[in-house]
């Protein structure tokens, strides 16, 4: 079976006062049916922009190249109206902060029904029934009274569940979740991850999970891609990439995390330096100035993302082979 | 001087609300930070940990209880100047985007902190600013730049440098790591430990993330709905949590081991602090709750050397054991009776 979403050579240039800046520089990936695809990387690595590009949500004047085939259509070639019809119904999106993505002055019911009435053409009563079902599906207690309430009356975790309900309203096949648990407590995060897992199994939903937290990704993703400076540096099945990281950057991200089983005195190992800004991406391998294993060639030649047993890797040195 | 660096005794923080019942955000909590010690304070949002931190530095007036800094009462902030000694108790806030002035250079913001306390003569100011930046691992050139020219992690280090300008003996940090990437988080966590050891600085580190606190803190206090439920040295607390809530916090931490195991979810939500559950405040969400838990309120008791828990499962008669083991022991005892 072919993948639900296939992205090929995605390149995004954003307009700035000083000219175009390449933020996503040739990214490929596939999202399979009913799977969670994890995208990880530090802030500014192009994770979010590469998703917004699929939905036509970039600032005007942006240049997008490549191909993104979703159900036989290339999302990047659709006209605005067509894209809205496809993306609005079949792709849902959830953002990091539910306090800003929900409208503070509209009731939950209004925010859920507007959406389904527009895209599914339901009448008022049918839309209200559908809204109630959606809230049940994301485990909001007492859905009928929740419909009459406003966002500020809910906790952060409940708000994120409501945002997920809105994203699911039209029965999408793909849910893009951008740092959906970053603003939440760990206990609440666990609940949201479990909910995403249920949706994947029960509704056969495909999920793209964008996160900077490899521990979150490790708990739910089937396949993962590690982004750095607008490129993919390593990708493959979750267990392969996270249990035996081959790219020095993947390894470094893992070493920076507190590991629950590690001895307490194991220091956290921070990656030296900071990620490059899109204006100043280093030559060659963009990670080489921070890399502990860099050799001469790394500073001049950008390594291609090449298949190596069961995964893809962009590294000249491959120190953990 | 003897005695702890910072001591909070039975502190209550109450917020009055017009036309609605008052909220006891902190309902009698005690906490001690010894000299040079790093204390982690963990709990979910809404558990009162930020209110307690604000009471600790005098940003809110406690409704009851006392806050002692080096043995001296911390007086709440008023329009009048703070007593000079209290300047050595400093706070770092969660969001470095809003705690730094975006329109002023980093150097002049640090110099302000020095001027306010007359800590450096005009001629020595510049050197001291550079020294402060060095302490947090930033180059001297950072002084001439504006906050937006730095990453989130660097900005948080600038906020720490500004607090250090007052030559504090205690730093209270409210979720300093929450908005950072893993690598920046690791950098700041290591820096805090290093500063504490080098300057014999006491830290009260507030966080919802027990995993990172474990790498930083010497002792951990766990707070739930305005009260302390457990306290102990970090390592034993992490390997054998005594309170079911601590156990739930540890179980919810996702593990970066690539195995694909979902973290355990704690059922229910943090209840409304204006209407806390009767008796043990955790009992409606507790998987081990038995009838006593909804009848009597457990107090924080020392159940093993250095380890305290407020839970009816922990009797202190046997060596400390996790809640599941204790629950089995107790149900056997009850069956015999």
Mean pLDDT to the nearest integer, A127-148 = 91
Average pLDDT, chain A: 91
Q: Facing residues of B224 across strands?
A: B227
* A292 interface with B at CB cutoff 8 Å: no
Mean pLDDT to the nearest integer, A146-157 = 90
Average pLDDT, chain B: 91
More confident residue, A99 or B168: B168
* DSSP string for residues in B269-299: -PPPTTSPPSSSTTGGG-TT--GGGGTSPPP
Q: What pLDDT, on a 0 to 100 scale, did the predictor assign at position A183?
A: 79
pLDDT in tens, B7-63: 999 999 999 988 888 899 999 999 999 999 999 999 988 899 999 999 999 999 999
Give, rounded to a whole angstrom, the gap between the first and last alpha carbons of chain B: 53
Q: What pLDDT, on a 0 to 100 scale, did the predictor assign at position A254?
A: 92
**pTM for this model (two decimals):** 0.91
More confident residue, A291 or B209: A291
Cβ <8 Å between B258 and A186: no
CA distance B18 to B57: 26
Q: Output the CA torsion sign for A238, A240, A241, A245.
A: positive
Q: Answer for the pair A33, A1: CB distance below 8 angstroms, yes or no.
A: yes
Cβ <8 Å between B215 and A220: no
Nearest to B249 among A187, A238, A274 (CB): A187
| Set of chain B residues whose Cβ sits within 8 Å of the Cβ of A221 | 260
Listed by number, the residues of chain A in 216-245 with a beta carbon closer than 8 Å to a beta carbon of chain B are: 216-222, 238-243
The beta strand positions in A163-205, using DSSP E, are 174-178
Cβ <8 Å between B182 and A256: yes
Q: Find all residues with CB under 8 Å of B28, minimum gap 6, and list them.
A: B10, B11, B12, B64, B65, B226, B227
User: In chain A, which residue's Cα lies nearest the Cα of B235?
Assistant: A264
Cβ <8 Å between A186 and B252: yes
pLDDT in tens, B84-95: 888 899 999 888
Q: What is the DSSP letter of B217?
A: -
User: In chain B, which residue's Cα lies nearest the Cα of A239?
Assistant: B258
Q: Is residue A263 very low, low, confident or very high in pLDDT (cuts 50, 70, 90)?
A: low
To the nearest whole angstrom, how far is the Cα of B142 from the nearest Cα of chain A?
15
Question: Is the pLDDT confidence value at B78 over 80?
Answer: no
Q: A186-202 and A156-168 helices cross at what angle (nearest 10)?
A: 20
Q: What pLDDT, on a 0 to 100 scale, did the predictor assign at position B84?
A: 81
| Structure-block tokens of residue B85 | 């000694």
* A198 interface with B at CB cutoff 8 Å: no
B166, B181, B189: which is closest to B69 by C-alpha?
A: B166
Cβ <8 Å between B253 and A158: no
């Amino acid at each position: 079976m072919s993948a639900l979403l296939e992205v090929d050579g995605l390149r995004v240039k954003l307009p700035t006062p000083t000219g175009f800046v390449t933020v996503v520089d040739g990214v490929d990936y596939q999202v399979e049916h009913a799977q969670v695809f994890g995208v990880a990387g530090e802030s500014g690595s192009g994770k979010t922009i590469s998703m917004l590009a699929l939905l036509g949500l970039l600032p005007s004047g942006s240049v997008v190249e490549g191909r993104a085939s979703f159900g036989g259509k290339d999302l990047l070639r659709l006209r605005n109206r067509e894209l809205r019809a496809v993306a609005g119904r079949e792709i849902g999106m959830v953002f990091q902060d539910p306090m800003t993505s929900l409208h503070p002055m509209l009731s939950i019911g209004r925010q859920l029904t507007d959406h389904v009435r527009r895209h599914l053409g339901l009448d008022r009563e049918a839309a209200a029934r559908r809204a109630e079902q959606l809230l049940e599906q994301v485990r909001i207690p007492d859905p009928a009274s929740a419909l009459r309430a406003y966002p500020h009356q809910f906790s952060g975790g409940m708000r994120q569940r409501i945002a997920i309900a809105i994203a699911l309203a039209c029965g999408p096949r793909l849910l893009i979740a951008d740092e959906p648990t970053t603003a939440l407590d760990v206990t609440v995060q666990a609940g949201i991850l479990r909910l995403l897992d249920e949706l994947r199994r029960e509704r056969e939903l495909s999920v793209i999970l964008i996160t900077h937290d490899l521990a979150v990704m490790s708990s739910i993703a089937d396949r993962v891609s590690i982004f750095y400076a607008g490129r993919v540096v390593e990708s493959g099945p979750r267990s392969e990439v996270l249990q035996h990281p081959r790219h020095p950057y993947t390894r470094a991200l893992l070493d920076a995390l507190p590991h629950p089983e590690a001895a307490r005195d194991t220091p956290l190992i921070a990656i030296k330096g900071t990620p490059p800004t899109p204006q100043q991406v280093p030559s060659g391998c963009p990670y080489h100035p921070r890399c502990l294993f860099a050799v001469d060639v790394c500073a001049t030649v950008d390594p291609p993302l090449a298949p190596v047993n069961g995964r893809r890797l962009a590294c000249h040195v491959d120190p953990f082979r | 001087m003897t005695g702890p660096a910072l001591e909070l005794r039975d502190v209550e923080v109450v917020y009055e609300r017009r036309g609605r019942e008052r909220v006891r955000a902190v309902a009698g909590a005690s906490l001690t930070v010894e000299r040079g010690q790093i204390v982690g304070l963990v709990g979910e949002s809404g558990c009162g940990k930020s209110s307690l931190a604000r009471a600790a530095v005098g940003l809110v007036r406690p409704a009851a209880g006392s806050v002692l800094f080096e043995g001296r009462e911390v007086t709440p902030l008023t329009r009048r100047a703070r007593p000079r000694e209290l300047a050595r108790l400093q706070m770092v806030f969660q969001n470095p985007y809003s705690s730094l002035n975006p329109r002023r250079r980093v150097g002049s913001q640090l110099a302000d902190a020095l001027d306010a306390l007359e800590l450096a003569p005009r001629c020595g100011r510049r050197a001291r600013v550079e020294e402060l930046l060095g302490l947090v691992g930033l180059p001297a050139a950072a002084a001439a730049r504006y906050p937006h020219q730095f990453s989130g992690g660097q900005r948080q280090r600038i906020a720490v440098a500004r607090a250090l300008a007052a030559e504090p003996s205690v730093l209270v940090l409210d979720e300093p790591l929450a908005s950072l990437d893993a690598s920046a988080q690791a950098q700041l966590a290591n820096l805090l430990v290093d500063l504490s050891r080098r300057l014999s600085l006491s830290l009260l580190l507030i966080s919802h993330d027990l995993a990172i606190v474990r790498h930083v803190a010497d002792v951990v206090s766990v707070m739930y709905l305005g009260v302390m439920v457990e306290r102990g040295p970090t390592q034993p607390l992490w390997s054998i949590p005594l309170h079911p809530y601590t156990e739930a916090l540890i179980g919810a931490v996702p593990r970066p081991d690539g195995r694909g195991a979902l973290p355990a979810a704690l059922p229910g939500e943090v209840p409304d602090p204006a209407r806390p559950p009767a008796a043990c405040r955790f009992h409606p969400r507790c998987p081990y709750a038995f009838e006593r838990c909804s009848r009597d309120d457990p107090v924080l008791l020392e159940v093993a050397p250095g380890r305290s828990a407020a839970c009816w499962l922990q009797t202190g008669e046997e060596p400390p054991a996790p809640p599941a083991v204790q629950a089995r022991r107790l149900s056997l005892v009850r069956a015999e009776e």
